[in-house]
Structure 1
Amino acid sequence: MIKEVIVVEGKDDTVAIKRAVEADTIETNGSAIGKDVLARIKLANERRGIIIFTDPDHAGERIRKIVASHAPGCKHAFLPQELASYNGDIGIENASPEAIRQALSSLRTETDSIHGEITLDDLMQAGLLVHPQASERRLQLGKLLGIGYANGKQFYKRCASFHISREEFYTAVDQLGYRLEDNGS
């Protein structure tokens, strides 16, 4: 049994989680999260800890931010869109039990840190900003680092809040072959 309570968006997500692992869940019932649900999440975080496991889409990211702002030190599980898609629908409920177990085995703990080891220059050097394939590169690197997809600004913040080290970052960048030539600037 997973010690932490897993925060998901809805009932179908709970069913998918329970097919994959033995765990308790709290459902947000979408992005209009009520005060009572936030109070349950806060209590669960204080007593057992929580894992935020929302859909890999815009609404899921919005819910993730809301929940994380009420649960300091929470853990995050990320699932790539291609493992959560079925007939054009994106959601945890579409993921296989194995994909869910994999996401739950690669948790990241969030901190309040706004300054990490990774700089904006590091992101530029890896072609994650202002590059024709920047979005695709962030998608692939986010998968490899276990922090999910994010726009450039959010990717930078995630590297800091999840304490991604320079060594970890550049190992992943090199594995994907993303390091750009130094242009002398």
Structure 2
Amino acid sequence: MKIKEVIVVEGKDDTARIKSAVDADTIETNGSAIDEAVIEQIKHAQNKRGVIIFTDPDYPGERIRHIVTQHVPDCKHAFLPKEKARAKHDKEIGIEHASISDIQEALSAVYELVDIHEGEITKQDLIDYGLIGGSQSSKRRERLGVVLNIGKTNGKQLLKRLNMFHITSKQLDRVMNQIIQEERNE
């Protein structure tokens, strides 16, 4: 699988793992203290080939994603759930621990951020589906993030991501009905 865009990752171990899964070029941020030279490199890559941000599913990875998105707003995003990025015998989490097939799957489900269109999905929709304000909200948001491939979020982030990725009310309804059915079968 050849990836046209340049993939932004955290470090050299992520680069090595991605290159074993796909034919792609990467830019390494070397942590969340991203310097201006790296931001300029990402901007240049975005202008020439496009960029996919593919960071670890943890706080530092989300922070890097946020910083890059602020400076280079039109990037695409790939997400990997924590359970697919966990080292087998360790608590470490990172892209470098993911299987080749999980990396390929995450990169084939890339999302492009677009402007939020008001009125698509509302906070009330999230309340109605028990995604915020309920005892199972965190668990449901985590499952929704896996099914939609949009990463783990808190309630506020979820509403923003659903709208940025143009997830429709119809799509949300279908996925939430699936999640609720799974819960009943547990």
TM interval, shorter chain, is over 0.9
> In the TM superposition, what are the counterparts of 1:102-113 in structure 2 within 5 Å?
102-113=105-116
Which residue of structure 2 aligns with residue 181 of structure 1?
A: none
| The structure with more helix, counted as a fraction of residues | 2
**Structure 1 residue 72: Cα displacement:** 2.2
8 A Cα contact 1:116 1:164, kept in partner: no
Amino acid at match of 2:62: E
Which residue of structure 1 aligns with residue 9 of structure 2?
A: 8
Mapped partners of 1:114, 1:154: distance in 2: 15
8 A Cα contact 1:8 1:28, kept in partner: yes
Q: Are 1:174 and 2:177 counterparts?
A: yes
**Structure 1 residue 114: Cα displacement:** 6.0
Which residue of structure 2 aligns with residue 182 of structure 1?
A: none
Deviations 1:52-80 (A, max 9, x none): 00000011000000111122221100000
Which residue of structure 2 aligns with residue 141 of structure 1?
A: 144
Q: TM-score when scaled to structure 2?
A: 0.93
Q: 1:116 to 1:22 in 2, by over 3 A?
A: farther
What's the Cα RMSD here? 1.1
4+ residue segments displaced more than 3 Å? none
Amino acid at match of 1:46: N
Mapped partners of 1:11, 1:112: distance in 2: 32
Moved more, 107-116 or 11-20: 107-116
The count of aligned residue pairs is 178
Moved more, 120-129 or 67-76: 67-76
Mapped partners of 1:2, 1:116: distance in 2: 34
Which residue of structure 2 aligns with residue 127 of structure 1?
A: 130
Deviations 1:148-175 (A, max 9, x none): 1100000111011111111111111011
SS at match of 1:23: strand
**Structure 1 residue 146: Cα displacement:** 1.4
**Structure 1 residue 116: Cα displacement:** 5.1
Mapped partners of 1:81, 1:104: distance in 2: 15
Identical-residue share of aligned pairs (%): 54
8 A Cα contact 1:72 1:111, kept in partner: no
SS at match of 2:4: coil
Mapped partners of 2:117, 2:11: distance in 1: 31
Deviations 1:6-45 (A, max 9, x none): 0000000000100100000000000000000000001101
Moved more, 169-178 or 91-100: 169-178
> In the TM superposition, what are the counterparts of 1:87-102 in structure 2 within 5 Å?
87-102=90-105
> In the TM superposition, what are the counterparts of 1:1-185 in structure 2 within 5 Å?
1-86=2-87, 87-113=90-116, 115=118, 117-177=120-180
Q: Which runs of 5+ in 2 are unaligned?
A: 182-186
Mapped partners of 1:67, 1:93: distance in 2: 20
Mapped partners of 2:26, 2:154: distance in 1: 28
Amino acid at match of 2:33: A
